[in-house]
Structure 1
Amino acid sequence: MTGTNTGGNALCMGATPAPRKRGRPRIGQGLDDAHLLKGALDAFAEKGYDGMSLRELGRRLEVSHALLTARYGSKEGLWFAALEYALGHAAQGWRQTVEDPALDDLQALRLGIVHQIVFAASFPQVVRILNHEGGVDSDRIRFVVDRFVKPLRPLVEVRLNRLQDAGRIRPLPYEVLHFMVVHGPGALFANTVESDLLGAHPPAGDHAVWRHAEAVADAIIFGLATPPAAGTTPK
């Protein structure tokens, strides 16, 4: 599973960049990695890996094809860099949550889900990219799983297994929870055409997104929680 290291704020404000000079920047000059990688995420989410070229992306971002090649080496190198950029933030958030000793196991699981949904709202391109890549065996999907999912799995499973062993939640395979949390809630933000056709209105703004994420996380946690035994008072 992946998450985000933001709290109520999904966006970080930085210093206002100096106006860029006219014309395309030379290789190594005026290179804004965040701008390029976000643009790459947009492009790969829209066109798919096979449908996007470095030349097309260069035209979109108003940078030279040579600059992208020099910086990332190839289209595949750019894809890896873009997913590393996004999922690096996500993995850090999950790790901080599940490794926090101050959090009860159920609290940690709930907060991890909240962070994941906030991440999906901030990076809806990732959900769309993974939905496509997950159905085709390639070095790209193996990179995502090996680099981000597998290292986090045992950390989450420690919490999950303790909850199951204590009878606090119903037995649920880790991979089922992964798809419920990573792919399900993010569809509202990623599948914009489908959302529009259904008359859905994804929440906008950090506070609204956070509240939405909490509501969805609570629905998942409530569904997992075991009912109290007969004659007992729920805590």
Structure 2
Amino acid sequence: MPEEESILLRGLEAFAELGYDRASARELARRLGVSHNFINDRYGSKAAFWRAVVDSALGAQLAQLPQVDPSVDDAERLRRIIGGFYRTAADTPLMARLFVDELTRDTERLDYVYEQYIEPTLRTLVPSIERLVASGRMASIPMDVLFFAIIGPISGMVEVPLARRLGRPEAASPEQLEATAELLATLVVNGLLATGSGSRG
């Protein structure tokens, strides 16, 4: 693994475990195996290092999202995008741990994540959602409710110790995880469509 990639991964592990405030510059340097001046010298500040860590993890995650054929039905398009989101979340469970802390705090870090990642990702869903609402297949749902309806099932991909206690195989294969992501996405989209007033024959 290249040095930069290794440093960013260890930074992600530290922020996910400790949270931003408890991940002091001294503790980060210890975990990275570098001098105490390294983060300031290389990145400029702890905040800039945190952004580099998030960019590395989320950038890789978003790059893995499938390119969905725009000609498919909007409900199917929504299901494929959400399923892809769940599959990539399983590959970077540390991001979910980092977000548990960050998404509850009104900080510049939340602004950064929202502006750089959450809002652009939601933009990919909005056209399909608007068409489904206009056609009566989905009720108009406030964006905050819609977001949490979609984001909640990520726990089913990353909370592996609990999932095992609920019956998931000890060593779930990539195919099993993909099937879980697809099932979760289907349940979410079917639930959203069930709120519409149109015929679902």
Query: Residue deviations 1:73-101, cap 9 Å, x none?
Result: 2211111111111222344455944xx42
In structure 1, what is the equivalent of residue 21 of structure 2? 50
What is the alpha-carbon root mean square deviation over aligned residues?
2.7
By relative contact order (CA 8 Å, sep 6+), the higher-ranking structure is 1
Structure 1, unaligned runs of 5 or more: 1-16, 18-30
Choose between structure 1 and 2: higher helix proportion.
2
Give runs of aligned pairs for residues 137-152 of structure 1, distance below 5 A: 137-152=106-121
Secondary structure of residue in 1 paired with 2:22: coil
CA 1:181–1:196: 2 relative to 1, 3 Å:
closer
CA 1:199–1:224: 2 relative to 1, 3 Å:
closer
Q: 47, 53, 73: which one pairs with 2:44?
A: 73
Alpha-carbon distance in structure 1 between the residues aligned to 2:47 and 2:167: 34
Secondary structure of residue in 1 paired with 2:37: helix
Query: Residue deviations 1:121-158, cap 9 Å, x none?
Result: 11112122222112211110000111122233333211
Matched, 1:159 2:122: no
Matched, 1:82 2:50: no
Q: 132, 150, 153: which one pairs with 1:185?
A: 153
Alpha-carbon distance in structure 2 between the residues aligned to 1:189 and 1:107: 21
Give runs of aligned pairs for residues 24-43 of structure 1, distance below 5 A: 32-43=3-14
Alpha-carbon distance in structure 1 between the residues aligned to 2:167 and 2:3: 34
Q: Of the two, which has the highest radius of gyration?
A: 1
Q: 195, 198, 222: which one pairs with 2:190?
A: 222
Query: Residue deviations 1:19-55, cap 9 Å, x none?
Result: xxxxxxxxxxxx6222111211111111110111233
| TM-score, reference length from structure 1 | 0.72
Q: Percent identity?
A: 32
CA 1:141–1:153: 2 relative to 1, 3 Å:
same
Alpha-carbon distance in structure 2 between the residues aligned to 1:204 and 1:37: 27
Secondary structure of residue in 2 paired with 1:50: coil
Q: Is the CA contact (8 Å cut-off) linking 2:157 and 2:181 kept in structure 1? A: no
Secondary structure of residue in 2 paired with 1:65: coil
In structure 2, what is the equivalent of residue 209 of structure 1? 177
Alpha-carbon distance in structure 1 between the residues aligned to 2:142 and 2:155: 22
In structure 2, what is the equivalent of residue 135 of structure 1? 104
Structure 2, unaligned runs of 5 or more: none
Matched, 1:119 2:88: yes
